Structure 1
Amino acid sequence: MKLTAENIQFIDSYLKNSNVIYYDIRMEMLDHVATAVEQKMEAENIDFYEAFKSYMVVNKREILKGNKLWPGFSKDILLNFLKFLLQPIMILIGVSIYVFYKNVEVANYFSESFTFKDFLFVILISLAIFKIVYFRVVLKQRFYMIEKIFGLLNVFYYLQMFFLNQRNNETPSVFTITMFSYLLIAYLIYFTKQVYKFNTYKKQFV
């Protein structure tokens, strides 16, 4: 027995009312519940609402354990990002950035009033502003992976404050500017991949 569009919408509304606010997590739960309810309807020859009610009475608590309402930054996201940084293609990008800075004196393209350190800081702030605009205007859905990777910006900010202190007039080393440029570029690539994954996943339920 296949569920109707109204049945799917009913499950989705139920999960929303159960405070499952992240779209990707809710869709995973919806797929899981819908499959289980279909099997129950088939095995016991009962209608949707009866199957759904009896299934959720037994399994609701276990299902909702997957609702990751963790505030702030997630260590899982940091670990996933670190694994991403170690991919061969990303290491190649990092080496290329180092070679570029080793052979090009980028400080010559900036002034004393606006240094390369200032430039990196502006990029960091711009990404933070983009976060607000993207969620409020473009996405209009809360997506766990996308939302939590913005927590990486907090890590970059404190690293920037420590290694690229604007009050320190010394030119940062090639390694330091390579590290920050690499992190920002990797972040943009990682973020883009997650957005693509989100849009692909979302189409399955539209």
Structure 2
Amino acid sequence: MTMKLTKEQIQFIDTYLENSDVVFADIRMEMVDHVASDIEDRMRASTTSDFYNVFKGYMVQNKAQLLKENKQFLKSADRKIWKAFLKEVLNPLTLLIFLTSFGGFYFLYSNFNIETFRLIISYVPLIGLSGFLLTYVVYHKVKNLKRFSVVERLAMPFLVFYQIPNIIFNFSYQAKDLMTVLWILGIVSIVLTLMLVLVRVSIKLFKSYEKQYKTLA
């Protein structure tokens, strides 16, 4: 006997999972497909076709495992981010951004005083942070997308890169000789480059999710 769940029943599963702290839409979609398939199998094998009773029995047995899988999906999201990040780092455009950044910072150092140089360095963290926030606002507020695991996990690497320039800013007080300055320029340029890479990765992932989960927007 064919037993397919209705749209209302599938939506009920989705809402139940969302209320059970499976907050990310991409993770829920995979779980809903899995749960719906199992419920259909149980309803075919059962003497009753009452969806809610079958669903209740299924969740009593499997809810803990589903929530455990939710955590595994989040780890998978982190791996996806770093894989996309590494791929973008190896893009020839990344080297061009680094060289441009280094040349720009060296020009500032050569043509302005050390205080102006240090002031510019202090703004570096805001560049990457602003890029991510603007991207996040555009895709979540303007385009009104649901919450996606990979998208929100991007906040962590941005936070890491946000902190590094603050350390360099304090170290820049020791910029007494050219070699030290060049080291500072190099590190700041690398951090700025990686921030811009993360912005590019963010935009690509946002577009990918917008296309893949368009029905959820």
| 1:65 aligned residue | 68
1:26 has 2:37 as partner: no
Asked whether the 8 Å contact 2:24–2:147 carries over to 1, the reply is yes
Q: Helix, strand or coil: the match of 1:123? A: helix
Q: Deviations over 1:5-30 (max 9, x none)?
A: 11111111211232322222222221
| 1:107 aligned residue | 108
Q: Helix, strand or coil: the match of 1:96? A: helix
Give me the CA root mean square deviation: 3.6
5+ residue gaps, structure 2: 176-180
TM-aligned CA deviation for residue 204 of structure 1: 5.0
1:154 has 2:135 as partner: no
Q: Helix, strand or coil: the match of 1:86? A: helix
Select the structure that is richer in helix.
Answer: 2
5+ residue gaps, structure 1: none
* Equivalent pairs, count: 202
CA–CA distance in 1 between the matches of 2:78 and 2:31? 24
CA–CA distance in 1 between the matches of 2:161 and 2:98? 19
CA–CA distance in 1 between the matches of 2:76 and 2:174? 36
Normalised TM-score (structure 1): 0.74
Mapping for residues 20-169 of structure 1, pairs under 5 Å: 20-44=22-46, 46-47=48-49, 48-68=51-71, 80-87=80-87, 90-101=90-101, 105-107=106-108, 113=116, 115-127=119-131, 129-130=133-134, 133=137, 137-138=141-142, 139=144, 141-165=146-170, 168=173
Structure possessing the higher radius of gyration over alpha carbons: 2
TM-aligned CA deviation for residue 79 of structure 1: 5.4
Which stretch has the larger CA shift, 49-58 or 155-164? 49-58
Among the aligned pairs, what percent are the same residue? 30
TM-aligned CA deviation for residue 41 of structure 1: 2.3
Q: 1:67 to 1:102 in 2, by over 3 A?
A: closer
Normalised TM-score (structure 2): 0.71
Asked whether the 8 Å contact 2:77–2:150 carries over to 1, the reply is yes
Which stretch has the larger CA shift, 148-157 or 167-176? 167-176
